[in-house]
Chain A
Amino acid sequence: MHSDLRVTCGVEPEGVAGSTPDALAQLIRALSAPFGFFTPTPGVLEGLNLSRGVFSLLSDRQQVDFASVNQLAQAVSDLESIHLVLGHIDSEEFAIWCGLGKNEGRVHLLDLMGMIDRALIRVTGAQLQLNFTQYRPSPKALFRSLTQLALVGVSCDAHQLQRAWPTSARKPLSTKWKSQYESVKVFKDNGTLVEREPSIFSFQLKWKGVGSTDLAVGLLRNHLVLDLGGVRHFVELPAACSRMEPGVVQLFKNKMTIDFTVDESEWPRS
Chain B
Amino acid sequence: MSEPGKEDASVNDLGSWLISVGAPESITDLIPSELARLDIAPLLALFSGIGLNGSGLMGSELGGVSVESGLLDGAGGKVPADEIRWLPVIRS
Which of A's residues lie within 8 Å of B, judged by CB?
23, 26-27, 30-31, 33-36, 39-45, 85, 88-90, 92-93, 96-97, 99-100, 104, 211, 215-221, 225, 246-252, 258
Contacts and interface: CB of A to CB of B under 8 A. Distances in A.
B67 to A, nearest CB: 4
Given A40-B59, A41-B69, A43-B82, A246 B87 contact: yes
A93 B67 CA distance: 5
28 contacts: A34-B23, A35-B59, A36-B58, A36-B59, A39-B59, A41-B82, A85-B82, A88-B69, A88-B81, A88-B82, A89-B69, A96-B62, A97-B59, A216-B86, A217-B86, A217-B89, A218-B86, A218-B87, A219-B84, A220-B82, A220-B83, A220-B85, A249-B87, A249-B88, A250-B89, A250-B91, A251-B92, A258-B87
B47 to A, nearest CB: 11
A263 B22 CA distance: 51
Given A33-B21, A34-B53, A40-B67, 12 more contacts: A34-B52, A44-B82, A89-B69, A93-B59, A96-B67, A97-B67, A100-B35, A216-B86, A220-B82, A220-B85, A246-B85, A251-B91
B78 to A, nearest CB: 12
Contacts of A40: 58-60, 67-69
B59 A96 contact: yes
A216 B89 contact: yes
Contact of B87 (A100, A221, A248): A248
Interface residues of B, number: 35
A23 B30 CA distance: 6
B31 A27 contact: yes
A93 B58 CA distance: 12
A251 B86 contact: no
Given A30-B30, A39-B56, A96-B67, A211 B92 contact: yes
A108 to B, nearest CB: 11
A36 B21 CA distance: 12
A27 B89 contact: no
A93 B65 CA distance: 10
B80 interface: yes
B24 interface: yes
Contacts of B22: 33-34
B89 A44 contact: no
Report the 9 A-B pairs with minimum CB-CB distance, sorted nearest first. Answer: A43-B82, A218-B84, A34-B21, A43-B83, A218-B86, A93-B67, A44-B82, A40-B59, A30-B23
A20 B56 CA distance: 29
B90 interface: yes
B50 interface: no
Contacts of B27: 27, 30
B46 interface: no
B23 A33 contact: yes
Nearest to B20: A34
Interface string B15-57: 0001001111001001100010000000000000000110011
A252 B82 contact: no
Contacts of B24: 30
A36 B89 contact: no
A23 B67 CA distance: 25
A218 B56 CA distance: 27
